[in-house]
Amino acid sequence: MKLIGPFSQIITLAGIPLKGAVKDEQLQIIENGGVLIENKIIKKAGDFNSLKNEFQNADIELIEGNNVLLPGFVDSHTHICFGGNRSKDFAMRLNGKTYLEIAESGGGIWSTVTNTRKESKENLVKSTLEKANISLQKGITTTEIKSGYGLSIEDEIKMLEAINEVKSISKADIISTFLGAHMKPRDFEGTNSEYLELLVNEIFPVLKEKNLAKRVDIFTEKSAFSVEESRIYLQKAKEQGFEITIHADQFTPGGSLLSVEFGALSADHLEFSGEEEIKFLAKSDVVATALPGASIGLGMQYTPARKLLDAGVCLSIASDWNPGSAPMGDLVTQASILATFEKLSMAEILSGITFRAAKALNLSDRGILETGKKADFVSFPTNDFRDIIYYQGQMKPNSVWKNGKNIG
Ligand code: NIG
Ligand code: FE
């Protein structure tokens, strides 16, 4: 048993509902707090001195100075396994070309596919682990990583094996997602539907056999897969017991309605979701994931996070870290920026990068600092939690704990 503290404030995020708008007054703040952990799990959070008296045989990890403790952050949507870089695309966009125009002229996702195919599995493990570690230092103790830059049977499997290896080495928890349906590869001679059929027949069985991913994602978009094509694919994924998540409504609406139809865990992007889509999502348990990093990277509108929350939706905020649309890869910075444009409360932002993001990954064991949850924490050098969002990502954590262990 170990008691960690005292902290100027512990922001527990306990008692906040899974869905809908949240006021800052709803945040539970424990002043002069401590957290007691046993076997990687939180035994109790409360007043430091009371815990010290109550559990006199606990080892004490003494914290000096002013610090705020939060649950470890969850990044529920990334593409950090890739080769190459796309600064050339970025420069083209600055010169007025659109994301879709660049894709159509041979840049975009396909150029990353070409570069990722050239990389050995070992190199992919190395570069992906580096990025997961950068995130971990920023307090992200759980990171989702998608495939989707291989787009052939062997290269998708290579990516997923690399991600699985990162999972086994990284101190963070890594969740893998199969995104073979990112786009139809240019070297596939056949229709979109035939490509999706190939994924179902040739890759789904391997995902299970080798335990590579239990989540399936698809880019539902005019430039990738239509709603009708996506529906057939998702039906098969669902029948085979995969969890579903969708890249939805990024440029045109459609995907979010499918996410509701299939009871997906999450619908991500949603920059072009309108009133109808929001109403639909609000009637479901689908988590809406805002990806402000992609809006910043592409210079386009943000996900209507305020409207989604007001309609009663569960909002996750994720980095979408990828070489094309979201190269920054800094979740707290992006969430803080989204907040200023969308008028999100601090409580909504913090919920969106902790337990609500965990919900998008079907994880209910983390993201809240309360009895029974995983002992994953992050602390910042301040006595007022509002500073973390106020400094828009420039205030860095000074300690991160994973499974109760201080990893620096
Ligand atoms: O989430 N929208 C599709 N997929 C990624 C971008 C991938 C890329 O451009 O390489 C996204 O933004
Ligand atoms: Fe994405």
ipTM of the complex: 0.95
Total count of domains within the chain = 2
- Give the pair of three-digit tokens for residue 11: 């922001």
Mean of the per-residue pLDDT values of the chain: 97
Ligand 1 site residues, Cβ closer than 6 angstroms: 79, 108-109, 112, 219, 247, 250, 294, 320, 322-326
- For residue 324, give the ligand 1 atom closest to its CA: 9
Per-residue pLDDT, averaged over 173-181, amounts to: 98
Do 283 and 382 have their domain in common?
Answer: no
Do 171 and 26 have their domain in common?
Answer: no
Q: 388 near 332, Cβ under 8 Å?
A: yes
Question: Domain residues for 381?
Answer: 2-71+368-406
Burial class of 393 by CB neighbour count within 10 A (0 to 12, 13 to 18, 19+): middle
Of 338, 360, 382, which marks where a domain is finished?
360
- For residue 99, give the ligand 1 atom closest to its CA: 9
What is the C-alpha separation between 131 and 127, in angstroms, rounded? 6
Q: Which ligand is nearest to the CA of 224?
A: 1
Do 312 and 268 have their domain in common?
Answer: yes
Do 142 and 46 have their domain in common?
Answer: no
Do 175 and 225 have their domain in common?
Answer: yes
pLDDT value at 100 more than 80 = no
Of 322, 337, 360, which marks where a domain is finished?
360
Which of 113, 319, 320, 321 is the best mutation target for the ligand 1 pocket, counting ligand atoms within 8 Å of the beta carbon and taking the most? Answer: 320
Do 208 and 258 have their domain in common?
Answer: yes
Do 296 and 159 have their domain in common?
Answer: yes
For the question of whether the overall pTM of this predicted structure is more than 0.90, the answer is yes
**What CATH number is attached to the domain comprising 390?**
2.30.40.10
Do 25 and 93 have their domain in common?
Answer: no
Per-residue pLDDT, averaged over 224-246, amounts to: 98
**What CATH number is attached to the domain comprising 300?**
3.20.20.140
Per-residue pLDDT, averaged over 193-200, amounts to: 98
Look at 31-35, 197-201, 221-225 and tell me which has the smallest mean pLDDT.
Answer: 221-225
- For residue 82, give the ligand 1 atom closest to its CA: 10
At 272 the pLDDT is 98
At 228 the pLDDT is 98
pLDDT band for 393, please (50, 70, 90 cuts): very high
Question: Does an H or E element contain 208, and which?
Answer: helix 204-209
pLDDT value at 235 more than 80 = yes
What is the C-alpha separation between 277 and 382, in angstroms, rounded? 40
pLDDT value at 104 more than 90 = no
Which of 109, 110, 149, 268 is the best mutation target for the ligand 1 pocket, counting ligand atoms within 8 Å of the beta carbon and taking the most? Answer: 109
Q: 302 near 334, Cβ under 8 Å?
A: no
- For residue 77, give the ligand 1 atom closest to its CA: 1
pLDDT value at 99 more than 90 = no
Which residue puts its alpha carbon closest to atom 6 of ligand 1?
325
